Chains A and B, each alone.
With several copies, the nearest count.
Chain A
Amino acid sequence: MMITIRYFGLLTEVTGCTSEKINFSGTTIFDVKEVLFQKYKTLKNKDFQVAQNNELNTDKTKITSTEIALLPPFAGG
């Protein structure tokens, strides 16, 4: 299926975009990360969390949304 990956903060500099659609056949956040680590070699060294449906997920979380967000460390305030 096609899912949209959104990038924020310094991750937009790693990927060169703020969002992109990828063709995805896995089931978990871990699987999404594997695909992205293949595409962006330096992403693996970056500190980030993954969210879908506006909630943070763990590697084991099942993909239930067509939009996944990669969030670097927060800097609000």
Chain B
Amino acid sequence: MKNHKPKNAFRKGAITTEFIANSIAKHQVKTSIGAHNIFLGQVRADEINAKKVAAIDYTAHEDMANLKFHEIREAAFLRFDLSCMHIYHSIGNVNAGEICLFVFVSSKRRKEVFPAIEFIVEEIKAKVPIFGKEIFNDQSHQWKVNS
């Protein structure tokens, strides 16, 4: 179902596997859907100068971020023949191994979902004002920059 109302994409803390399972289950009544594609961003325990990332503390310019999420959603619906699209991003603390980004697209046909998911993820990385403080296991930190 297309949803063109701006909404709040932020979820406090990690995105749980139960939340993801629930989102998938909700789409099983939509029997015109033939293909789903899901992207999950997971916090890596990167080692930087012998210190390990234990968590990322996410902050954002939330109003601007939600507007950008909305614009990305609209652009994706224009470019691709999608039945549904959902974007969720964590705000606050997410531990290494936990999920911080959940992008979910659905379409009648599989050919649409592959370019759509990549487009959305790349747009999020480039255009949404979200900031990540990488907290090391010794409680020191550095600021994450997307590559």
Contact = CB atoms under 8 A, between A and B. Distances in A.
With most chain B CB atoms within 10 A of its CB, the pick from A71, A72, A77 is A77
A77 B64 contact: no
A74 B133 contact: no
Nearest to B125: A77
A50 to B, nearest CB: 11
Interface residues of A, number: 15
A51 B129 contact: yes
Contacts of B85: none
Nearest to B128: A76
B62 to A, nearest CB: 10
B130 A74 contact: yes
B84 interface: no
Contacts of A54: 61, 63-64, 67-68
B131 A72 contact: yes
B105 interface: no
B101 A77 contact: yes
Say what secondary structure dominates the interface of chain B.
Answer: mixed
Contacts of B60: 8, 76
Nearest to B66: A54
B131 A77 contact: no
Contacts of B125: 74, 76-77
A14 to B, nearest CB: 11
B59 A8 contact: yes
B67 A77 contact: no
Interface string B111-130: 00000000001001111111
7 contacts: A9-B59, A9-B133, A69-B61, A75-B146, A76-B125, A76-B130, A77-B101
Please give me the 6 A-B residue pairs with the lowest Cβ-Cβ distance, nearest first: A9-B131, A76-B130, A75-B132, A75-B144, A54-B64, A10-B143
